[in-house]
Structure 1
Amino acid sequence: MSFEDDVKAEAFHLGFSLCGLAAAQPQAQHAAVYEDWLAAGHHAQMGYLAAESARLRRADPSLTLPGVRTVLTVGLPYPNPARAAAPADGRLRGRTAAYSWGQDYHDRIPPRLNQLAVFLETRLGLPLAHRAYTDTGPLLERAWGQQAGLGWFGKNSCLIHPRGGSAFLLGELLLDVELQPDVPWEADRCGSCTRCLDACPTGCILPNRTLDARRCLSYWTIENKGLIPVELRPSLGNWVFGCDICQQVCPWNQHAAPSQVDAAFDFTPEEAFPDLLEALSLSPVDFNRSFRRTPLARTKRRGFLRNAAVALGNLGDPAAAPALIHTLENEPEPLVRAHAAWALGQLHHPRVRPALEHAQLTDPDPSVRLEAAGALAAL
């Protein structure tokens, strides 16, 4: 075995399913695509993505780690979203993206990459300058994965591996030592398939294998902190955190070889498919206790309850009316009350109209009064 093979074996020992190496050259071609994406406004309100210093560092890793010679990229598998099924218990359930199940990957990947760096230092017998990332800094992660031979850019914008599909999280280790690079992945194995584009409920997948965040359900349920546009709410279905539709329909995921999913991603059906009525009743303490160490904490309580209200409206079950009315009348967060009002407008229940009329006249927040008026019109 070569030294590079030893490094990969250690990465696999640490729980990664993929590991590849690339020479740390500036990514001019991929950076140009990224710049065009920003210029078109496809990053929505995520202004941090357009910060000048970050844009420069994305194109050239030496601006992040002076003297960098190699970018090591790993993949950590999470449960395959194409094989998940909600409990058949009759409850009104939402759905969360599979990468969010279990513990927050930000707490799992960088420490293992730092362990890998220690392994390298021990084997080489010299100190290394290194930086570990996983979606935590300005790197073109998919580009480094492709350069390291881990897969190709799928039409759904995910990096796809021919055996493992796209259900893995990327991490990178920047190193100031030169290692033999792997052969970059060049083949496009999506072929003429358009299942992901056809299945996307908002048409956010772009022809150049990027996404328009302004129409992406993941953006609206996670990154967006305000109102969800009325015209997009029906497209959310019962998604309350992220969206896996383009991965669920991908043949490479449907036929992927089973991966040894890390114990960090062990999950219960309640985490993957939360009870929406219970979600509406979560106090701030309950929310923090349940989601503090998971990706779902990113939405904060008000975002999660907002999403749960929209999902209940889309499910259209009158059994949700009492909980939504209670939320409209008692929830302290105007953002949640506003979406509860909209959801009530999607239901047929005798108590809905009086509750909305009362909110339209008396709610102290104008956004809630406006949503109540719109819901009454929908009725």
Structure 2
Amino acid sequence: MTPAEKHASIIKSTAKSLGFDFCGIAKAGFLEEEAPKLEEWLSRNYQGEMGYLANHFDKRLDPTKLVEGAKTVVSLIYNYYPEQKLPETEGSIKLAKYAYGEDYHEVIREKLNHFLEILREEIGPIEGRGFVDSAPVMERQWAQKAGLGWIGKNSLLLNKQRGSFFFLAELIIDLEVNPDTPLAKDYCGTCTACVDACPTDAIVGSGVVDGSKCISYLTIELKDAIPMEFQGKMDNWAFGCDICQDVCPWNRFSKPHQEEKFKLHPDLAEFTNRDWQEITEETFRKVFKKSAVKRTKFKGLKRNLDFLKLKKSE
């Protein structure tokens, strides 16, 4: 076994021990094929008000500009599909499933820090950084290069064993590691379930989403008033949206996660539409203290709820 093969074995066993469902490895380098795609996406203003997506263009395409001397990108999958879901009765308020429990940024970042510590103990001095939706890293493209799945029509990474209800995270390190084989095949075929189901027509091409029309963008990233053209099209989503994932045939393979911190907050399980309508800042702080929902702040959540024109329910 070569040192690069041994490193790959250590990395994959460590990933498993830390609860990651899948681990793939790719050689760090410039994402040449992605550069024109990203440039066109930005030129069409599909980023909406997410101006930060146009920043650090070179870093977004080249991990060696994020970690000096980077040789390897380790891509990781961490499941968040819930066993207990919010009530799914007609007219009930919806939150993206990833926001049911504690903020994934904090939970997974802690695991990535531990991951690097273990690698340094097992292998020796390693320079690197962990990323979880927190820096200009094209995580889906790197996961595909690492053999973990393919980019679906909804632009999400799809995995044959888990669908898409998972977080992606990366370790960019200066260690030589034996890479995995990229997944070249697209297993979506002629299916257009996600395209057909999107109520705001945000999926404008295969693997291309107009972010400015996406319900997740409208309820989280957009800071101004939600444009009236989306009135009646939000399908009661108050934070994020799972429509394109819920209808995806590959998500029939989703299995409940085993992460205690991602479990549905007990208070949320009892929320009625009246509770949502009358939510106070005090309740918001209590229920969403450790949640990703705090990102939109109380004011943002209220704006979303008001836009949905909720009817009070007993």
| 2:40 match | 36
Normalized per residue, the structure richer in helix is 1
4+ residue runs of structure 1 moved beyond 4 angstroms?
A: none
Aligned to 1:57: 59
The alpha carbon displacement at 1:259 in A equals 4.7
Distance 2:57 2:270 in 1: 37
Q: How many Å apart are 1:60 and its aligned residue?
A: 0.9
1:72 pairs with one of 64, 71, 74: 74
CA contact (8 A) 2:81 2:254 kept: no
After TM superposition, give the deviation of residue 274 of structure 1 in Å. 4.3
Which residue number corresponds to residue 10 of structure 1? 14
Change (3 A) 1:129 1:96: same
Deviations 1:252-307 (A, max 9, x none): 002x0525432221114753784332233333232122212101001110111121
1:119 alignment counterpart: 118
Matched position secondary structure for 1:236: coil
Pick which of 230-239 and 146-155 moved more: 230-239
* TM-score calculated relative to the size of structure 1: 0.77
* Separation in 2, partners of 1:222, 1:273: 23
Alignment of structure 1 residues 121-160 onto 2, 5 Å: 121-124=120-123, 126-160=124-158
Taking the TM superposition and a 5 Å limit, the aligned residue runs for 1:1-379 are: 3=6, 4-51=8-55, 54-79=56-81, 84=85, 86=87, 93-124=92-123, 126-254=124-252, 256-268=253-265, 270-271=267-268, 274-313=271-310, 317=311, 319=312
Write out per-residue CA displacement over residues 117-148 of structure 1, whole angstroms, 9 at most, x where no aligned residue: 11111111x21111110110001110110011
Report deviation, 1:87: 5.8
Larger radius of gyration: 1
Q: In structure 2, give the amino acid aligned to 1:72.
A: V
> What is the rounded CA distance, in whole Å, between the counterparts of 1:106 and 1:72 in structure 2?
17
Q: State the match for 1:358 in structure 2.
A: none
Letter aligned with residue 79 of structure 1 = Y
Asked whether the equivalents of residues 81 and 255 of structure 2 are also in contact (C-alpha less than 8 Å), the reply is no
Q: Which moved more, 1:303-312 or 1:227-236?
A: 303-312
Q: What is the alpha-carbon distance in structure 2 between the residues aligned to residue 105 and residue 46 of structure 1?
A: 20
List gaps (5 residues or longer) in structure 2. none
Indicate the structure whose relative CO is greater, using CA pairs within 8 Å and at least 6 residues apart: 2
Change (3 A) 1:157 1:87: closer
User: Contact (CA 8 Å) 1:145, 1:151: kept in 2 or not?
Assistant: yes
2-structure distance, mates of 1:140, 1:149: 15
- Structure-2 separation of matches of 1:191 and 1:205: 16
Judge conservation of contact 2:268–2:287 (CA < 8 Å) in 1.
no
* Contact map agreement 2:231 2:307 (CA 8 A) in 1: yes
TM-align CA RMSD: 2.1
Q: Is the 8 A contact 1:98 1:272 kept in 2?
A: no
CA contact (8 A) 1:133 1:173 kept: yes
Aligned residues of 2:11 and 2:119 also touching (Cα < 8 A): yes
Deviations 1:79-125 (A, max 9, x none): 169x946266x9x630000111101000011211121111111111x
Question: Structure 1: how far apart are the matches of 2:297 and 2:286?
Answer: 12
Q: What's the counterpart of residue 344 of structure 1? A: none
Distance change in 2, residues 1:273/1:8 (3 Å) = farther
Q: Counterpart of 1:96 in structure 2: which amino acid?
A: L
Measured in 2, the distance between the counterparts of 1:105 and 1:271 equals 17
* Deviations, residues 321-347 of structure 1 (Å, cap 9, x unaligned): xx9xxxxxxxxxxxxxxxxxxxxxxxx
**SS of the residue 2:208 aligns to:** coil
CA spacing shift, 1:308–1:294, aligned 2, 3 Å: same
Q: State the Cα distance separating 1:189 from its structure 2 match.
A: 0.1
Identity, % of aligned positions: 36
Q: How far, CA to CA, are the matches of 1:257 and 1:225 in structure 2?
A: 33
What is the DSSP-based 3-state SS (H/G/I as helix, E as strand, rest coil) of the residue aligned with 1:12? helix
Q: Provide the C-alpha distance between the structure 2 equivalents of 1:273 and 1:50, rounded to a whole number of angstroms.
A: 41
- TM-score when scaled to structure 2? 0.92
Whether the aligned pair in 2 keeps the contact of 1:96 and 1:273 (CA below 8 Å) is no
Counterpart CA distance in 2 for 1:50 and 1:6 is: 36
Amino acid at match of 2:243: I
Task: Give a deviation string over 1:168-209, Cα, whole Å, max 9, x none.
Answer: 100000100110000011110000000000000011012141
Structure 1 unmatched runs, 5+? 324-379
**How many equivalent pairs are there?**
310
